Amino acid sequence: MGLPEKVTIWEVGPRDGLQNESALVPTATKVAFIGRLVEAGLPIVEATSFVHPKWVPQLADAADLVDVLVADLGDGARDLPVLVPNERGLDRALEKGLRHVAIFGSATETFAQRNLNRSLDEQLTMFEPTVRRAREHGLDVRAYVSMCFGDPWEGRVPIDQVVAVGKRLLDLGASQLSLGDTIGVGTAAHVTALLGAFHEAGVGVGDLAVHFHDTYGQALSNATAALRAGVTTFDASAGGLGGCPYAKSATGNLATEDLVWLLTGLGIEHGVDLARLVEASVWMAGELGRPSPSAVVKALAGSSGA
């Protein structure tokens, strides 16, 4: 069928999924959630972000979270990726002996200004020393680029603009670029066109990951288009946790369970125990006091866990 034989799922639930929760989630709950996700076989679980508590109060416990994870899971917990917005965030990651970090940029001018208080070019200038120092210390660096398909202020984002920003992030030294449909407006044809433009610009599909939101119910369709283009790394959030504060009625990230169901049906290896993953999401939904939006969680767990 021309599809990949194996896919890596990059689980973002503990960081991206929880960061916009209004009620603070206890550190112990986050630790337990991460542990359950690791036990379900997810190969990469993004743990937290070393962002200033003023901007993301939910992640103010990042340092304590890492300490508890290392105590509970051992040294392997230092391989769990964390987001670092700048050099100060990197300093904190280095202090904890972490080995994988990520930076978060924007494909549009407006979101760069609103999210980072930097222009499109200034954000890249800010990231340069962060990436350089991280690589000098032997850390792997991932780069997220948001608003790759649409921006709530600027509308549809030109493909060549996304490619230009993405290439500059890779040129800084990032090992992988995650393309985010932040407000969930992407379609399969748009995904195909964007990935094709990166290919024409000399960026190998192995350097790319995709990060879809399901605002318009297109996340699985978009994931299928990405599979057909050869993408092998997919961001997803257990139970569909998360959402975008800039998209009205956004239903959250692509649910990891829904992605796993799709991959299993296509015969693509992913290494995740779906039953244990559903258990983890049902448990977390109970902790948050609301149902999971994941269709697969609802179907497999029944109304009591949905």
DSSP 8-state secondary structure symbol assigned to residue 142: E
Q: Which helix (H) or strand (E) holds 83?
A: strand 82-83
Collapsing DSSP to helix, strand or coil, 222 comes out as: helix
CA distance 3 to 44: 22
Instruction: For residue 208, give the nearest of 191, 190, 186, 185 by alpha carbon.
Output: 191
For 288, what's the count of Cα atoms within 13 Å in the CB-facing half-sphere? Answer: 26
Q: What length is written for the chain?
A: 306
Could you tell me the sign of the dihedral formed by the alpha carbons of 185, 186, 190, 195, in that order? Answer: positive
Collapsing DSSP to helix, strand or coil, 139 comes out as: coil
Residue ranges of the alpha helices (H) in the chain? 27-39, 62-73, 87-95, 109-116, 120-136, 159-172, 188-200, 219-228, 256-265, 274-288, 295-301
- Is 148 marked active-site? no
Collapsing DSSP to helix, strand or coil, 230 comes out as: coil
CA distance 290 to 258: 18
Q: How far is CA 138 from CA 14, 204, 210, in A?
A: 25, 23, 25
Collapsing DSSP to helix, strand or coil, 255 comes out as: strand
**Which residue among the candidates 77, 84, 231, 244 is catalytic per the annotation?**
244
Those residues whose C-beta lies under 8 Å from the C-beta of residue 92, and which sit 6 or more positions away, are 50, 62, 63, 84
Catalytic center residues: 244
